[in-house]
Amino acid sequence: MKARIQSINFDATKALEAYIAKKTAKLEKFFDEIINIEVYLKVVKPETSVNKEAEIKITIPNSDFFASKTCDTFEEAIDLSVDALEKQIRKYKEKVSNK
């Protein structure tokens, strides 16, 4: 699995990158054929408090999953995005196993 983290218009700290790596690695428990994970972090509308956006795209054989959340902190946005991706992966696995 390859993971790529892009922070748009700011520099992500090493601690934030480590947090993202730890959270996205958990997704391999649900689906072990993950090819690529791309994480995009950006600050939107700096004048508002809920302005940290995290977008995560997962590539697997024959499909992609995507989640985007905007929260107070990047950590919260990552957590919610990973939770959404877990649900998507579970639905996909159920659908494939029922065929």
Domain count for the chain:
1
Whether the full predicted model's pTM is greater than 0.85, yes or no, is yes
Mean pLDDT calculated for residue range 30-54: 87
Statement: residue 97 has pLDDT above 90? no
The angle subtended at Cα 15 by Cα 83 and Cα 85, nearest 5°, is 15
Range of the domain at 40: 2-97
**What's the pLDDT tens digit per position in 58-95?**
999 888 999 999 999 999 999 999 999 999 999 998 88
**What's the pLDDT tens digit per position in 13-34?**
999 999 999 999 888 888 888 9
Which contacts (CB < 8 Å, 24+ apart) does range 41-46 have?
A: 41/5, 41/6, 41/7, 41/8, 41/10, 41/12, 41/16, 41/74, 42/7, 42/8, 42/9, 42/10, 43/9, 43/10, 44/70
The one-letter amino acid code at 44 reads V
Closest alpha carbon to 26 in 88, 91, 79, 93 = 79
b/e string for 20-31 if b means 16 or more Cβ within 10 A? beebbeebeeeb
DSSP secondary-structure letter at 39?
A: E
Give the CATH number of the domain where residue 8 resides. 3.30.160.100
